[in-house]
């Protein structure tokens, strides 16, 4: 595992991952189109379900956006 600084804060990623880890290491982002959509739609107090959460990039982003009055549920098969 390697700790990577991202635009949503530090995340632990699998060192040997061939796509996700190098992309996040290089850009600090993962799935910019989805991340931008989440930033536009999620508001304080909302409940968000991140189905297919993977390493939790969107989950962490959503948790910051919903704040202390909201909830984020993360599901990864």
Q: What is the pLDDT of residue 77?
A: 85
Q: What is the pLDDT of residue 69?
A: 98
Give the highest mean pLDDT range of 17-21, 55-59, 68-72: 68-72
Q: What is the pLDDT of residue 43?
A: 98
DSSP lists the bridge partners of residue 75 as 51
* Cα radius of gyration (the chain): 12
**Phi/psi class of residue 23: alpha, beta or left (left: φ > 0; alpha: ψ in -120 to 50)?**
alpha
DSSP lists the bridge partners of residue 12 as 3
Mean pLDDT of 22-48: 94
Q: What is the pLDDT of residue 17?
A: 87
């Amino acid at each position: 595992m390697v700790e990577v600084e991202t635009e949503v804060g530090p995340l632990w990623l699998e060192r040997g991952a061939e796509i996700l880890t190098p992309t996040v290491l290089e850009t600090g982002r993962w799935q910019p189109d989805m991340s931008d959509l989440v930033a536009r739609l999620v508001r304080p107090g909302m409940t968000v379900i991140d189905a297919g959460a993977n390493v939790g990039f969107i989950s962490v982003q959503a948790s910051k956006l919903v704040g202390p009055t909201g909830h984020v549920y993360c599901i990864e098969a």
